[in-house]
Amino acid sequence: MKIAVIAMGKIGLPLAVQFASKGHEVVGVDVNEQIVDSVNKGIEPFPGEAELQDRLSELVAAGKLRATTDYADAVPGADAVVIVVPLFVNDETWQPDFGWMDAATRSLAETLTPGTLVSYETTLPVGTTRNRWVPLIEEVSGLKEGTDFHAVFSPERVLTGRVFKDLRAYPKLIGGLSDEGTELARKFYEAVLDFDERPDLPQPNGVWDLGSAEASELAKLAETTYRDVNIGLANQFARFADKNGIDVYKVIDASNSQPYSHIHRPGIAVGGHCIPVYPRLYLFNDPDATVVRAAREANAEMPNYAVDLTAAGLGGSLANTTVAVLGASYRGGVKETAFSGVFATVAALRERGATVVVHDPMYSDEELAKFGWDAYTLGDSVDAAIIQADHAEYKTLTPAELPGARVLVDGRNVTDPAAWQTVTRIVIGA
């Protein structure tokens, strides 16, 4: 097959590599010329994805994968076009911004030829594939869905850093607008993916048809929103436990010892492209979902709560103090700040009069400065520190690396309590 992948980001590029590794001809499209040039040189543009560099260099050299900024170079004659363009959500209004997706869909439609399967993998509000993208494609291309082309929704379900592993581990969900489109999607994904044996699943691992594009859209929103709601519940348990001198971690472990409880862990923030964003996409269609809204609001408040704990540990005031925020990334081991708790944590500290410095082993001082932060070097004197990301380097952290610190708020519960006997160590919920 000839396959076009629209957007060569941290999900799109590994997908293109996976498709090409199955013997197909893949052309990636991206508006960023630097990414395109990097891909065509066989160099991964964003290091950190397992297996990506080795696969990429091999496939580019073999002529199986290339990239372009020109839709007209990639889309015409393609058997399938997979779209993984980012969909943004306004942080204040919680409304989706369809701008990039609209532009990509229009450019795709301008170059679309009959007989193509169009698969959206970007997470979307329910009904978007059928009611927004398909009419736009039909209007611009003059082609008819179900006759000249077929559209499906098939959500990506992977984490950056482990995309290839996750592609094998999880069922590939599809939802078409017609039986024929669904069957084309099933055959397509069976031809480009491999699946691990999963005896724990109710049906064999592989391509799962959910019956409609809407069901497939909802499945992705449901699985991610569940996690946000679960973490929100854990965070509220933790705050109650703090007020009552209870170790919530012992409570959670005890509760989860029977098979009907699956409480997640509390923490300073829920970040990344997925978990803090997709509940808002769900609320776009279901604004009266009070449980979803309350959990999102509870989780968004946790950085401020961690700052409250820091202030309390220092006697109530942060004025004229220096506080180090450890971890700019939204989670450990990933060089990515999307919706990271670092932003709200830094803002809350500054509002209370603290001088804030930021450390992250994955970022240089110059990179941190671009965010408007003063970089912190372990070993420099501070009054307190807050662990925001669970980088492996922080697990062995000791007071000697934070000289002068009277308080450590471990927002991820990663440090060794025995190493912090001389410093007030505060863990959310413990």
Residue 273 confidence (pLDDT): 86
As to burial, measured by CB atoms within 10 angstroms (0-12 exposed, 13-18 middle, 19+ buried), residue 244 is exposed
Section 7-27 average pLDDT: 97
Residue 83: phi, psi to the nearest 5? -110, 125
How far is the C-alpha of 133 from the C-alpha of 137, rounded, in Å?
Answer: 6
pLDDT in tens, 371-416: 999 999 999 999 999 999 999 999 999 999 999 999 999 999 999 9
Stretch (H or E) spanning 180: helix 179-192
Residue 19 confidence (pLDDT): 98
- Binning pLDDT at 50, 70 and 90, where does residue 90 land? confident
Nearest-CA neighbor of 26 among 1, 46, 9, 56?
Answer: 1
Section 347-369 average pLDDT: 97
pLDDT in tens, 244-260: 999 999 999 999 999 99
Section 303-329 average pLDDT: 97
- State yes or no: pLDDT of 69 exceeds 90: yes
- The number of residues in the chain equals 430
As to burial, measured by CB atoms within 10 angstroms (0-12 exposed, 13-18 middle, 19+ buried), residue 361 is middle
- Binning pLDDT at 50, 70 and 90, where does residue 239 land? very high
Residue 92 confidence (pLDDT): 83
- Binning pLDDT at 50, 70 and 90, where does residue 329 land? very high
Q: Angle 344-11-224 (CA atoms, 0-180°, nearest 5)? A: 55
What's the whole-number average pLDDT of the chain? Answer: 97
Residue 425 confidence (pLDDT): 98
Residue 243: phi, psi to the nearest 5? -70, -20
- State yes or no: pLDDT of 428 exceeds 90: yes
Q: What DSSP state is assigned to residue 253? A: H
Residue 15 confidence (pLDDT): 98
Residue 160 confidence (pLDDT): 87
Q: Which residues are catalytic?
A: 220, 274
Name the segment(s) of the chain with CATH classification 3.40.50.720. Answer: 2-213, 243-430
Stretch (H or E) spanning 409: strand 407-410
Question: What residue has token string 């499945």?
Answer: 219
How far is the C-alpha of 157 from the C-alpha of 331, rounded, in Å?
Answer: 17
Asked if 176 and 182 count as a contact pair (C-beta separation under 8 A), the reply is yes
Asked if 388 and 348 count as a contact pair (C-beta separation under 8 A), the reply is no
Give the ranges where 82-130 is alpha helix by DSSP (H): 99-111, 128
- Binning pLDDT at 50, 70 and 90, where does residue 128 land? very high
Region label for 272, one of left (φ > 0), alpha (ψ between -120 and 50) or beta (otherwise): left
pLDDT in tens, 150-177: 999 999 999 888 999 999 999 999 999 9
% of the chain exceeding 70 in pLDDT: 100
As to burial, measured by CB atoms within 10 angstroms (0-12 exposed, 13-18 middle, 19+ buried), residue 341 is buried
Stretch (H or E) spanning 359: strand 355-359
How far is the C-alpha of 385 from the C-alpha of 333, rounded, in Å?
Answer: 19
Q: Where are the beta strands (DSSP E) in 61-106?
A: 65-68, 80-83, 88-89, 96-97
Question: What residue has token string 């491999």?
Answer: 194
**Measured between alpha carbons, how far is residue 413 from residues 63, 235, 302, 303, 338 in Å?**
47, 13, 14, 14, 21
How far is the C-alpha of 179 from the C-alpha of 146, rounded, in Å?
Answer: 9
Asked if 175 and 216 count as a contact pair (C-beta separation under 8 A), the reply is yes
Section 170-189 average pLDDT: 97
Q: What is the amino acid identity at position 287?
A: P
Is 243-430 in CATH node 1.10.760.10?
no
How far is the C-alpha of 141 from the C-alpha of 52, rounded, in Å?
Answer: 34
- State yes or no: pLDDT of 111 exceeds 90: yes
Nearest-CA neighbor of 11 among 42, 40, 46?
Answer: 46
Asked if 3 and 29 count as a contact pair (C-beta separation under 8 A), the reply is no
Question: What residue has token string 């979803």?
Answer: 292
Instruction: Show Cβ contacts of residue 47 under 8 Å, excluding neighbours closer than 6 positions.
Output: 53, 335
CATH number corresponding to 2-213 = 3.40.50.720
- Binning pLDDT at 50, 70 and 90, where does residue 119 land? very high
- Binning pLDDT at 50, 70 and 90, where does residue 88 land? confident
Asked if 420 and 399 count as a contact pair (C-beta separation under 8 A), the reply is yes
Section 104-119 average pLDDT: 98
How far is the C-alpha of 173 from the C-alpha of 406, rounded, in Å?
Answer: 50
Stretch (H or E) spanning 344: helix 341-351
Section 68-97 average pLDDT: 94
- State yes or no: pLDDT of 25 exceeds 90: yes
**Measured between alpha carbons, how far is residue 177 from residues 110, 146, 329, 411 in Å?**
21, 8, 39, 45
Residue 47 confidence (pLDDT): 86
